[in-house]
Structure 1
């Protein structure tokens, strides 16, 4: 399914989400890209999941802002099968776009081959691999929001009475692993003996499976859940336990369940890319750094309904560590290895 949004488009909820992807095409590589004039950049995005999925939705929000200020026009395809991904990439590249963005975790080699055939198009693709200077128009990004994940872990560790936290993820890839490890490190700040149940459902979007996995963890003693996937917070709500969100803010859907979330802001990544493409200086690079807290790429969601429930010691430590992270005096470890259960 493909949709196109122009600067004058009326933004429905779906339209608002869709427009955000385009801007993401920031940092491919130093290719033969010409400098762009002041007209909006033509951006296209390709997604293997629905646009409502957490990770993709944050890209949409950033792109919507870029479209609203007249920086881009935008088209995107959602629910694109991995087998169709290279073909859709070529179709967009042939259409005369300036930037392409997507998530090539499962089609890495094929995506790079397509980019090599279109040196005048900038590609910024979600990837677990590093950029390759030999392919100057292909840059990579990922959501390095370990800073915010660590802070939410402090709160989770303080709120868990059983000392048993369940963690449900999609796949054990670096993008997910580093956030889980950071969360676990934060929880141990409040309780060094805390235990974790870790499971991966083998899908980016299967809420029923995530929910059933979370139920099993609750049955095994978890009173706090790390909701890396949709469906986990539903299980927490039904069973009366607490949850910590990831990438998006789900407070309005679970006001008495989700204590806080690690929120990804794609805007810094997008704004950097737009500037480089427009200046003709887009080069092969790793745009993951723009997700760090010190660049404004992530934050922790306010406690809202739980403000009076979180222990003061935890809130104090969160404030201290957040200030230190932003100042560069405290660095959250990036651990991309697969996390294991300790419960």
Structure 2
């Protein structure tokens, strides 16, 4: 009964705002206090790479006083819609999450709560008919390309193993960009590509990586947790993805492509506050030129990567940021070669 009353109150408040506005409005978003109420829903633990970056950005926004932030982790796909509805009923003005396996359900919830803004990770684009549902993605192909250049210089056998979660566009484009970067430096390279069918299964990722090492790989692309453990155990190198794990693997992780969710989230927060949030594709805010991705510092490998390659990487990075060079976005499933 309490939730029904709150929902009615929120919808009534939004309707009043729409009536009194002097200009045309988009969706009837709930009135934004300062800070605004934000809820996030994660299907995996917050330690997982992708989710950890969203959580980091939200925590930073909370610490500077822009938002009140709560979250649910390890939410099963079958429970996702229920949790979304509970947060919407509780009056959260912005709900953040991912809809990769629950796309229809997520959009159905957004349709039922036009006074709530939804910022959802998705392989699909926003729909103007659902103006309170915006999408985002980790378009960090720019940084992935640069790590590929470094990998191309560091592999001795020319045999690179790559372990991903699922062959979906969000993963494929990063792998393809990495492979393109490798080929710029070393054209004759063999890639072993495998997917484990899970977003968080370190033991399976490690087992898959060990098999690739047995097949000749002397460098691994660690799209999933567990791959760097295999590299460390066998004394070979690894390239990280989304987060920087070199502190945990100082002799193993030579480079990492970092995702920064702050530009995406900060834009959404501002849009909710000024009541201009609408169906928008936030993907571009993960591009390097927008501050949404970067190459992690080489750290312990600063003196181990050839100086000429470091110079080439810096030159390419500058070209990406200036727009002189564009990393291709290739969402096709990468294949072993």
Maintained 8 Å contact 2:59/2:69: no
Residues 233-260 of structure 1: CA distance to partner in whole angstroms, max 9, x if unpaired? 0000000000000000101100000001
Contact 2:159–2:219 at 8 Å: present in 1 too? Answer: yes
Match of 1:285 among 280, 288, 305: 280
8 Å CA contact retained: 2:271, 2:277? yes
CA distance in 2, matches of 1:313, 1:177: 29
The residue aligned with 2:170 is 175
Offset of 1:335 from its aligned partner? 0.3
In structure 2, the residue matched to 1:16 is none
1:271 corresponds to: 266
Shift of 1:35: 5.3
**CA positional deviation for 1:232:** 0.1
Q: 1:80 aligns with which of 55, 75, 80?
A: 75
Q: How does 1:251-330 map to 2 (within 5 A)?
A: 251-330=246-325
Instruction: Tell me how far apart the structure 2 counterparts of residues 296 and 248 of structure 1 sit (CA, whole Å).
Output: 15
Match status 1:32 vs 2:25: no
> 3-state DSSP class of the match of 1:336?
coil
More contact order relative to length (CA 8 Å, sep ≥ 6): 1
Deviations 1:278-337 (A, max 9, x none): 000001011111100000000001111111111122111101110000001100000001
Mapped pair 1:338 → 2:298: no
Give the 4+ runs in structure 1 shifted more than 3 A: none
Quick check: which has more Rg, 1 or 2? Answer: 2
Residue 244 in structure 1 maps to residue 218 in structure 2: no
Separation in 2, partners of 1:92, 1:72:
15
Residue 154 of structure 2, aligned match among 151, 159, 164: 159
In the other structure, the counterpart of 1:4 is: none
Q: Which residue of 1 aligns with 2:227?
A: 232
Tell me the matched-pair count: 313
Q: TM-score by structure 1 length?
A: 0.90
Aligned-CA RMSD value: 1.0
1:34: Cα distance to partner? 5.1
Structure 1 equivalent of residue 184 of structure 2: 189
Give ranges in structure 1 of 5+ residues lacking alignment: 1-28
Kindly state the Cα deviation for residue 32 of structure 1 after the two structures are TM-superposed.
Answer: 1.8
- 2:49 matches 1:54: yes
**SS of corresponding position for 2:37:** strand
* TM-score for both structures, normalised by structure 2: 0.92
1:51 counterpart SS class: coil
Q: Structure 2 stretches of 5 or more lacking a match? A: 1-24
